[in-house]
Amino acid sequence: MQKRRLVFIISAILPVVLFILDLTFGAVSIPPGDVWKALTGGDIAPTTRAIVLDIRLLKAVVAVTGGAALSVSGLQMQTLFRNPLAGPYVLGISSGASLGVAMFILASPLMTLPKWMSAIGVAGAAWIGAAAILLIISLVGRRIKDIMVILILGMMFSSGVSAVVQILQYMSHEDALKSFVIWTMGSLGEVTPMQLWILIPAVAAGLIMAVAAIKLLNLLLFGEEYAVTMGLDTRRARILLFVSTTLLAGSVTAFCGPIGFIGLAIPHVCRMLFYDADHRVLVPASMLTGASVLLLCDIISKAFTLPINSITAILGIPVVVWVVVRNSARS
């Protein structure tokens, strides 16, 4: 118990420390004192202020939001599908969102939309795409319990979606194509302040729903039959988790591009750190750890000027391998 409290305190402090580190770290070196001045509105050069507030602060806020959102959505899916390898990226939900975004971005030169409308359009398209894939996976997952089958289906969805996206690219306008290709690389820095006003409320709503679903998730650990006979309203549970996951995974994918492995790996890291399966522990733990890890990924990606997706993959894949090996050893 003592040890667990310590782990909790550390994982609560860590995001704060990494957030500050993230602000002081970047292509241009700015002394911590100047960062502080820029944040508090002190006397500082306007360019420095712009770098700190418009680039670094924005990116760090996106990292915190995205990390928490992806991790919690992964946790929800792992419990709902009773599948340790479930996650927004692996199940193809990010791909579904990508397809929505692709259709929207590539079609957008045909319409002339004001900026705020295109921001909402991107988010809406991603939500619809994510929800569609989630729906299909849920329907299949009810019949097929084999975790590998679900996993392969998710991969098939991803490949299918990229095929469709390639066809769309082939037929689309050059400018739209460029902005889409940049989007697919995944980035925390492409989010505009206006998009942030959609991202943050959407993720906050998804996280509130996740907290409201804690008891349902705990019941679902035992499978649907047990959950129902212990008083679970399946329909309510499914709708709540469905909407929450769509908001969390869909919104982040809409504005940051498909970011892999965070949603799959972080819940396992939390289970290991806290040695628990109770969602009263895992939901807050996933939020904190997810935020920390994505901040860390951002710092690493700035240090080596690498795309964020390659960092999350390098950090996440060992966790996935470990989960697969442990699972096959068990059965």
Partner 1 sequence: MISISNLNLGFRARTLLAEVSTDFPQGCLTALIGRNGTGKSTLLRALAGLNNRYTGDILIDGSRLRDLGRPEMARRLAFVNTERTRIPNLRCRDVVAMGRAPYTNWIGRLSENDALAVDDALRAINMQDYADRTMDRMSDGECQRIMIARALAQDTPNILLDEPTSFLDLPNRYRLVELLGELAHSRNKCIIFSTHELDIALRRTDRIALLADCTLTNLTAEEMNESGLIPDKFGISL
Residues that bind partner 1 (CB under 8 A): 212, 214-215, 218-219, 221-223, 225-226, 228-233, 271, 275-278, 280, 330
Is the Cβ of residue 268 or residue 302 nearer to partner 1 in the bound state?
268
User: Least CB distance from residue 218 to partner 1, whole Å?
Assistant: 6
Torsion of CA 211, 158, 312, 309, to 10 degrees: -120
User: Least CB distance from residue 154 to partner 1, whole Å?
Assistant: 22
User: Least CB distance from residue 328 to partner 1, whole Å?
Assistant: 14
Among candidate residues 41, 47, 46, 39, the one with its CA nearest the CA of residue 20: 39
Is the Cβ of residue 152 or residue 212 nearer to partner 1 in the bound state?
212
Is the Cβ of residue 103 or residue 323 nearer to partner 1 in the bound state?
323
- Which phi and psi angles does 69 have, rounded to 5°? -65, -50
User: Least CB distance from residue 222 to partner 1, whole Å?
Assistant: 6
User: Least CB distance from residue 275 to partner 1, whole Å?
Assistant: 6
Cα–chain center distance at 57: 19
Is the Cβ of residue 96 or residue 206 nearer to partner 1 in the bound state?
206
Is the Cβ of residue 135 or residue 272 nearer to partner 1 in the bound state?
272
Per-residue 3-state assignment (H helix, E strand, C coil) for the chain? CHHHHHHHHHHHHHHHHHHHHHHHCCCCCCCHHHHHHHHHCCCCCHHHHHHHHHHHHHHHHHHHHHHHHHHHHHHHHHHHCCCCCCCCCCCCHHHHHHHHHHHHHHHHHHCCCCHHHHHHHHHHHHHHHHHHHHHHHHHHHHHCCCHHHHHHHHHHHHHHHHHHHHHHHHHCCHHHHHHHHHHHCCCCCCCCHHHHHHHHHHHHHHHHHHHHCHHHHHHHCCCHHHHHHCCCCHHHHHHHHHHHHHHHHHHHHHHHCCCCCHHHHHHHHHHHHHCCCCHHHHHHHHHHHHHHHHHHHHHHHHHCCCCHHHHHHHHHHHHHHHHHHHHHHHC
User: Least CB distance from residue 24 to partner 1, whole Å?
Assistant: 37
User: Least CB distance from residue 147 to partner 1, whole Å?
Assistant: 14
Is the Cβ of residue 219 or residue 315 nearer to partner 1 in the bound state?
219
Is the Cβ of residue 203 or residue 270 nearer to partner 1 in the bound state?
270
User: Least CB distance from residue 232 to partner 1, whole Å?
Assistant: 7
